[in-house]
Copies of this chain bind each other. A is one copy, B any other.
Amino acid sequence: MAKNQCISISVIKRLPRYHRFLGELLTKGVKRISSRELAQTMKLTASQIRQDLNCFGGFGQQGYGYNVELLYHEIANILGLHDKVKTIVIGAGNLGKAIVNIDFNKLGFDLIGIFERDPLLQGTTINGQVVQCSQQIEHFCKENQVEVAVLCVPKESANTLVELLISLGIKAFWNYSHYDIGVYYDDIVVENVHLSDSLMTLSYRVKDFKKNNEIKF
């Protein structure tokens, strides 16, 4: 019964969190769970869980609920965690280093190269990978059919770098830079992580929270 027209970005963005909670339940040895119970655990509504899951198929069973292990694997499949795409990281500064330590393989990617402009960092090893010179990017991509680039570079470098990467056929970016790729290019996939945007949002929320609590007390 897998339908296809209802998969909005809001639904997709909730899948990793389902995956995480189901993984925990699995570890705890929980065999089955109802949408009601899962909703309580995750602070969602049972309705939303059933709606979300039914975008992809009927994974549950009436009167019983959902099999935790089965659902966990189904979601991993939907997210494509078993299909690895070749990925490079550009920028080996503090952030780049932190990112290279993420377990890309578990998340559906095959990290095959790290590049950095600064000669001092070139040749060092991060998580088993040797940091290469940025000038090697073009050659490396032509040799290796790279599909995804992770951008951990300052905004000023991002501009020309993205132009190069796109010309080399890269169509997907995990973007930590403040360069707004999506504004300049169409028909590519960009997942932005703007840490300072997140921190500014927190700034608003903290101060709003303080204001409201002052009034209350």
C-alpha gap A198/B172 in the complex (Å) = 13
Nearest-CB residue, chain B, relative to A192: B198
- Contact B183 A202, beta carbon cutoff 8 Å: no
- Assess whether A62 is interfacial by the CB under 8 Å rule: no
Q: Contact mask A78-109 → B, CB, 8 Å, 1/0?
A: 11110101000000011101110111100111
Q: Are B191 and A201 in contact (CB under 8 A)?
A: yes
A48-69 contact mask (Cβ, 8 Å, vs B): 1 or 0: 0000000000000000000000
Chain B contacts for A201, CB-based, 8 A:
12-13, 15-16, 191
Query: Nearest Cβ distance between residue A37 and chain B, in whole angstroms?
Result: 13
| Contact string against B for A residues 173-206, beta-carbon threshold 8 Å, 1 for contact and 0 otherwise | 0100010101100000101011111111111111
Interface residues of A (CB under 8 A from B): 12-13, 15-17, 19-21, 41-43, 78-81, 83, 85, 93-95, 97-99, 101-104, 107-109, 147-148, 171-172, 174, 178, 180, 182-183, 189, 191, 193-210
